[in-house]
Amino acid sequence: MIVGNWKMNQSLASIERFMTALAPALDANIATAWIAPQAIHLPVLLAYRQRWPKQLRVGAQNCASALSGAHTGEISPEALKELGVDFVIIGHSERRTLYGETDALLHEKVQMALGQGLTPIFCVGETQAEREAGQTMDVVERQVRHGLKNLQDEQWAQMVIAYEPVWAIGTGLTASAEQASEVHQYLRGLLRSFCPAQAEKIPLLYGGSVKPENLEELLKATDIDGALVGGASLKALDFAELLKISSCQA
Ligand code: PGA
């Protein structure tokens, strides 16, 4: 599973160029491309999904913790569903740090997204200081315990979790496959205790400076089921290459 997080990038013109360049990979049906554009560009991507209904999944980068009401500037999960959006990234480290999103708020967002039948991609990860202090597993455990508390079995079955060490996001520093896999195996162990029936099926994505040169090694490692990709997802040929590499590992 390869998810492109475009963050606050792309224009109408650059999306058109991107999709033209990605078209051969989508036509060849090598793997499903999950793409999260800025909210304002969702309808544009959804129009492309009509052309590639099997090969393209379209998602938001955030949603509100309420369905409607006095929340100026927020994105309603109900409106996302109505538009036909497939998934929503929740708890990205940029949301946590730049916009002060707490574990408690993220728990509400996850519940709202699940209630609308959207697939949440729930992000967790430690900072450099937390890693150096030996707190990585404590941090990701706390984020999962709080953010995903009290989920029913059928809700767990809708979840995707992304491990994104904050120090590796947009920095060019990738966690080694061993470092990433260690955390992924820990997360898998947690899931076995929370939802034994679903634990093995929940995709665990790695994110943080993923590119064509390092994806294969990451995907070969235990419990890494895919990638959440920022920078490299903005280049169509790199993104197509990531899809190709993932299909070879499937
Ligand atoms: P990056 O971003 O691939 O540019 O490091 C990953 C992310 O923020 O999801």
Which pLDDT score, from 0 to 100, does residue 102 have? 97
Both tokens assigned to 203: 């995709």
Q: What residues flank ligand 1, with Cβ below 6 Å?
A: 5, 164, 169-170, 207-210, 228-232
Q: Report the nearest-CA residue for atom 6 of ligand 1.
A: 230
Q: Is the pLDDT of residue 250 over 80?
A: no
Distance CA 237, CA 25 (A): 9
Which of 1, 164, 167 has most ligand 1 atoms within 8 Å of its beta carbon, as the pocket-test mutant?
164
Q: Report the nearest-CA residue for atom 3 of ligand 1.
A: 230
Which pLDDT score, from 0 to 100, does residue 214 have? 96
pLDDT in tens, 55-108: 999 999 999 999 999 999 999 999 999 999 999 999 999 999 999 999 999 999
Residue with tokens 């544009």: 44
Q: Report the nearest-CA residue for atom 2 of ligand 1.
A: 230
Which pLDDT score, from 0 to 100, does residue 249 have? 78
pLDDT in tens, 127-152: 999 999 999 999 999 999 999 999 99
Q: Is the dihedral of CA 170, 203, 186, 89 positive or negative?
A: positive
pLDDT in tens, 19-46: 999 999 999 999 999 999 999 999 999 9
Q: Residue 217 in contact with residue 179, Cβ under 8 Å?
A: no
Which pLDDT score, from 0 to 100, does residue 74 have? 97
The helix/strand/coil state of 129 is helix
Residue with tokens 């949301």: 95
Which pLDDT score, from 0 to 100, does residue 215 have? 97
What is the Å distance from ligand 1's center to 36 Cα?
12
Which pLDDT score, from 0 to 100, does residue 177 have? 95
Please state the pTM of the whole predicted model: 0.97
Mean pLDDT, residues 177-181: 96
Name the residues annotated as catalytic. 92, 164
73: Cβ contacts below 8 Å, ≥ 6 apart: none
Both tokens assigned to 211: 């590119």
Q: From the alpha carbon of 208, which atom of ligand 1 is closest?
A: 5
Mean pLDDT, residues 164-179: 90
Looking at the chain, how many residues does it have? 250
Which pLDDT score, from 0 to 100, does residue 125 have? 97
* Percentage of the chain exceeding pLDDT 90: 96
Mean pLDDT, residues 209-232: 97
pLDDT band at 205 (very low <50, low <70, confident <90, very high): very high
Q: From the alpha carbon of 168, which atom of ligand 1 is closest?
A: 5
Mean pLDDT, residues 185-201: 97
Q: Average per-residue pLDDT in the chain?
A: 96
Q: Report the nearest-CA residue for atom 1 of ligand 1.
A: 230
Which pLDDT score, from 0 to 100, does residue 174 have? 83
Distance CA 146, CA 139 (A): 11
Q: Is the pLDDT of residue 211 over 90?
A: yes
pLDDT in tens, 227-240: 999 999 999 999 99
